[in-house]
Structure 1
Amino acid sequence: DDILPDGFTKVKPRKTRRNKTDTTGFPPLPPPKSQSETSHSTASDSNKQPVPNLSVTSTPSTSQVPEDTTAQPPRKVRVTPIVLRDASRWRGVNHKFISLGIKFERAVAVDAGIRIIPKSEDDYRRIIRLFREEEVPHHTFPLPSERNIHAVIRGVHATLSEIEIKEELQQRGYSPLHIIRLKRGGGVPMPLVVVILPKVEKSQQLFNEHELLGLAIRVEVQKNSRLIGQCHRCQKYGHAQSYCTAPPKCLKCASDHMIHLCPQTEQEERKCANCGGGHPANSRTCRFAPKKNLEVIAQRRNVSYADAARDATRAAPSVGSSANTQNVDLATALRSLQQIIGPLISATQALQAIFPANG
């Protein structure tokens, strides 16, 4: 300390200590008590009743929680459903299942008939085999393990035929089931080909191909169109013709035959197989047509749902391909021309008989 001339001592002010941040995560320790305070607190604590610990036990952190090493149950795989189209045959079919030991998860009544969920893929195959042997009308879908591979080949010129493409793929070791040339509106072919292959390891190698018949190509997985498909056999929505054995319905007249056997001409009135209205079964104006299809079309055209529905109402529903329509128009024109030329030929022959040409 500094001593002043008057004999006084200069006292320096003490600096206040700031609480340092405790990095240990524990609360600071209290200052030590004196001996008198310790004896007083000990005497007072002996007279107090013990207080139960009501504090909530803190949950340990995630890093301290032991991992659950127990094996999780395998995820249940849902088997492809089968729809019995004739609901009146369900009792007989159910008795047949019991006698043959065919198991199913449940059977639900739906608009199309009875929807059956098999217990396993083996039960699915046994039901399909039984329905085919007994000629039970039904429709179903392919098993995930048996679904074909759909590939799109870009860059295939329109002059190349499907037969040439199929033969080239077969020479490379592939087994194409179908080759489909994509076309624009009006039947104009595009440089795009859809190839359907069986689900085998070799088929996956097609996506690594970059050349076909001397042309540079690009192979892609076919994207889902998001449209609800329509069966070309029974005209119902939600399944395909290749997995349907229901009685056939004509697209144009709703009779019990396929469309290529229909005797109707293009000028005759149509009848819907779904609602009975005066339009083909594939008309978007039908009340049974899925609304989701119009929503997808509206998104693709970047228009409102009302505009898409209005366009579908104004547009003439498509019954056959444009090529078939052109063939019908050409045949009608030829018949009309024959009716005009026939009398002229007869008149010419009569004139030649009256006025023979000079030799």
Structure 2
Amino acid sequence: MLGRLVSSVRVCPYYTARNAINQTQMLTQQKVMQMPKRHWAQVGHVIVTPPRVKVSLLEKVLHSTVMFVVWLAPVMWFLSQVKINRLQYSQKMEETLDTITEKLKHSSISPNEQPVPDIVFHDTMNKDLLSKWPRFKNVVPDILLHKTIDFAQHVKEILRMNIKIYQPYLSTNYTKIPSYSIADFKAVQQYFDKNHLPYHTFSIPNEKKLRVTIRGLPKDLNLNELFEKLRSAKIPVKRVHKMKVKSFALEQAPLILAILPYNKEGLNILRVRKILGHDVTLEPPIKKLRQCHRCQKWGHAQRYCHGQLKCVKCAGDHYSTTCSRDRNSSEPPTCANCGGNHTANYRECFYCPDSEEYRQNRVKRLKYKTETPRFPRQLVTWENVDTNLYKRITNIPKHAEAIPF
């Protein structure tokens, strides 16, 4: 047994060299043992065991350490890797099983589970999302009579019709007429339409619309299908259409604009989380500066305008689509607001709220408003119709009179 251990020690290159040196020394000191001659038919051979070499304890420890590093350490590393791979594989299998189980719950394979609806809602309304839209105001809108008409000539006739209005406000281009109720508001509208008076107004609370931009739907989405799915989910959508964008990224994932009534049922669209299996994001549309395409004035829409018809190119009394002028015409354009040599939609015009001159004058007017006291509004009656019709302050400074709106 000890001989086998010593022979195994000779596997190490260190011991092999040492044994060779010892054997050389022994051969030089004594005669080499002569091996007997053997016959060709003799079977087997004589095994000559070399003389044993004394090995110290330190050499044995060194040899064991080398053998552990060379042979046992790779084996242990290999076994550890196998264990790690088994753990990773088991984790992946558990995740795969969980995913398959979740899909089976929402699939039609299991008869006990209901299919996934086309419209998925959040449990509650997100107040942060709701705050991005303007608050609903249940107020009677004002009627703005265009300044070429003197409203004082029609007040007594309106009072004879038992229509209640508050004291109107005077400005450079408009006479703003607040009504007492929705019924009075509609009666004033009928009177102005009957007498062909130019004016514009805004939508009443029952007609206000909620506009919602939907992101995350595919490009090839059928709008009719989307409309029907929203209606089937009890969302009273009026119409949906794709918004025109110039960005290539938005063309691949288009923006869908949904228009709904601004009421409790219409606000349910803000609880939508998924549409036809797609995660969607809801946001209000970007607010743009409005210009009427009928009278070319700023701040209101054509839908509620009954003003005088004006062309955006030549300021004529016709629609812009029927105008004969174009970019190649020799005649310069004419602004319907200031009469300058530019179109009515020119952003640097004095009447455009985006122009620098308009902003400067608006700052002066706001400063003037803060310095003047406010008076409570009063109804126009037969007692004050001749003495205190308009709600205005005398001694208006010149810079306030020059402001168009």
TM-score, length-normalised on structure 1?
Answer: 0.53
Q: Does 1:204 align with 2:245?
A: no
* Equivalent residues, number: 219
Gap change, CA 1:162 and 1:139, over 3 Å in 2: farther
> Which one of the candidate residues 235, 240, 264 is aligned to 1:179?
240
Percent identity over the alignment is 29
> Which one of the candidate residues 214, 232, 237 is aligned to 1:153?
214
Q: Structure 1: which 5+ runs fail to align?
A: 1-76, 297-359
Report deviation, 1:95.
Answer: 2.3
The corresponding residue for 2:322 is 261
Contact 2:217–2:280, Cα closer than 8 Å, also in 1? yes
Q: Secondary structure at the match of 1:210?
A: strand
Gap change, CA 1:110 and 1:270, over 3 Å in 2: same
Report deviation, 1:133.
Answer: 4.1
Contact 1:106–1:118, Cα closer than 8 Å, also in 2? no
How far apart, in 2, do the equivalents of 1:121 and 1:160 lie? 41
Per-residue deviation, residues 222-273 of structure 1 (Å, max 9, x unmatched): 1562x54211221111111111111221222222222222233332243221
> Which one of the candidate residues 334, 341, 349 is aligned to 1:271?
334
Report deviation, 1:163.
Answer: 4.6
How far apart, in 1, do the equivalents of 2:225 and 2:140 lie? 38
Counterpart AA for 2:237: P
Contact 2:239–2:258, Cα closer than 8 Å, also in 1? yes
Gap change, CA 1:97 and 1:176, over 3 Å in 2: same
Q: How does 1:130-145 map to 2 (within 5 A)?
A: 130-145=191-206
Q: Secondary structure at the match of 1:151?
A: strand
Report deviation, 1:151.
Answer: 1.2
Report deviation, 1:84.
Answer: 1.3
Q: Does 1:114 align with 2:175?
A: yes
Report deviation, 1:295.
Answer: 11
Q: Secondary structure at the match of 2:167?
A: strand
Contact 1:251–1:273, Cα closer than 8 Å, also in 2? yes
TM-score, length-normalised on structure 2?
Answer: 0.47
The corresponding residue for 1:251 is 312
Q: How does 1:232-243 map to 2 (within 5 A)?
A: 232-243=293-304
How far apart, in 1, do the equivalents of 2:356 and 2:222 lie? 31
Counterpart AA for 1:281: A
Q: Does 1:96 align with 2:157?
A: yes
Counterpart AA for 1:114: T
Contact 1:271–1:280, Cα closer than 8 Å, also in 2? yes
Counterpart AA for 1:127: V
Gap change, CA 1:95 and 1:243, over 3 Å in 2: same
How far apart, in 2, do the equivalents of 1:183 and 1:285 lie? 25
Per-residue deviation, residues 94-117 of structure 1 (Å, max 9, x unmatched): 122111111111112223332111
Q: Structure 2: which 5+ runs fail to align?
A: 1-137, 360-405
Contact 1:86–1:113, Cα closer than 8 Å, also in 2? yes
Counterpart AA for 1:170: R
Contact 1:154–1:191, Cα closer than 8 Å, also in 2? yes
- Greater Rg by CA: 2
The corresponding residue for 2:367 is none
Gap change, CA 1:219 and 1:233, over 3 Å in 2: same
> Which one of the candidate residues 224, 227, 230 is aligned to 1:169?
230
Contact 2:350–2:357, Cα closer than 8 Å, also in 1? no
How far apart, in 2, do the equivalents of 1:198 and 1:138 lie? 25
Higher RCO (C-alpha 8 Å, min separation 6): 2
Report deviation, 1:146.
Answer: 3.6
Contact 2:235–2:268, Cα closer than 8 Å, also in 1? no
The answer to which structure has the higher strand fraction is 1
Contact 2:147–2:172, Cα closer than 8 Å, also in 1? no
Contact 1:253–1:272, Cα closer than 8 Å, also in 2? yes
Report deviation, 1:197.
Answer: 1.0
> Which one of the candidate residues 326, 345, 349 is aligned to 1:286?
349
Gap change, CA 1:200 and 1:86, over 3 Å in 2: same
